[in-house]
């Protein structure tokens, strides 16, 4: 990336949920390299502290529970006050169920998936979108999954949440004013802890999060309001 391109991104802010591990962590690092100011969060203090050291003082990495409306409200108020209205909101935070038939998944585990994977996105939208809509600017990227457009046995709870994100994204796109966009993005198959939970060592056959981010972040940067409502897949 040229110095000119980095200069263009200097005044841009991206908010990424679940930014202390997996795809969120690698996207945060890559956006920062490309000149963006990054605001992100995680639930675990040790991971937040580690990510803060990696990112530096220019960026805002905080503790926040995406499934908790109050926690997201406080985070959003802090970020908007410090950094202004974001140009890009990436709803990345998600969890995977322990693979097993649906009838064997405990209620508590099923509920936790919906709280993080669906309610978490709604919480982010609820507290960041009003300022973005007021300015009539910005894109919302909701990370979906291949399992938001297809199904497999033993991951029914996860499939349900990602199919929900596809529907939520399509409906939200119809609600946005001109100049804004919401896109459901399938990241593809990447060797993350979540994939290893399903596939074990078989996950190591796929690209690493850092490799993925080097291609995915420029692709996300290329998206515009004209892509509003589209179902897309990362390269």
Active site residues: 158
The size of the chain, in residues, is 235
- DSSP line for 115-155: IIIIIHHHHHHHHHHHHHHHHT-EEEEEE--GGGTS--TT-
- Note whether 42 and 19 are within 8 A (CB): yes
- Residue 152 tokens read as 């497999």
- Measuring CA to CA, which residue among 134, 230, 123, 127 is closest to residue 186? 230
SS3 of residue 20 by DSSP: coil
Distance CA 75, CA 71 (A): 6
- Measuring CA to CA, which residue among 224, 128, 125, 141 is closest to residue 184? 141
Q: What is the DSSP letter of 103?
A: G
- Note whether 65 and 20 are within 8 A (CB): no
């Amino acid at each position: 990336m040229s110095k000119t391109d980095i200069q263009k991104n200097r005044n841009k802010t991206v908010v990424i949920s679940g930014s202390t591990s997996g795809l969120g962590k690698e996207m945060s690092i890559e956006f920062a390299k490309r000149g963006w100011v990054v605001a992100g969060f995680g639930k675990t203090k040790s991971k937040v502290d580690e990510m803060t050291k990696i990112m530096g003082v220019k960026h805002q990495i905080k503790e926040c529970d995406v499934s908790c409306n109050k926690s997201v409200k406080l985070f959003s108020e802090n970020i908007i006050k410090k950094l202004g209205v974001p140009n890009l909101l990436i709803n990345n935070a998600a969890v995977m169920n322990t693979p097993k038939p649906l009838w064997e998944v405990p209620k508590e585990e099923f509920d936790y998936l919906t709280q993080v994977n669906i309610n978490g996105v709604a919480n982010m939208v609820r507290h960041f979108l009003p300022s973005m809509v007021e300015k009539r600017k910005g894109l919302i990227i909701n990370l979906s999954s291949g399992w938001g457009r297809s199904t497999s046995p033993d991951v029914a709870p996860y499939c349900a949440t990602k199919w929900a994100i596809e529907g939520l994204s399509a409906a939200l796109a119809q609600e946005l004013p001109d100049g804004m966009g919401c896109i459901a993005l399938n990241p593809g198959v990447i060797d993350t802890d979540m994939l290893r939970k399903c596939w074990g060592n078989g996950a190591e056959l796929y690209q690493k999060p850092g490799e993925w981010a080097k291609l995915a972040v420029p692709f996300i940067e290329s998206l515009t309001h004209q892509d509003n409502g589209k179902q897309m897949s990362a390269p």
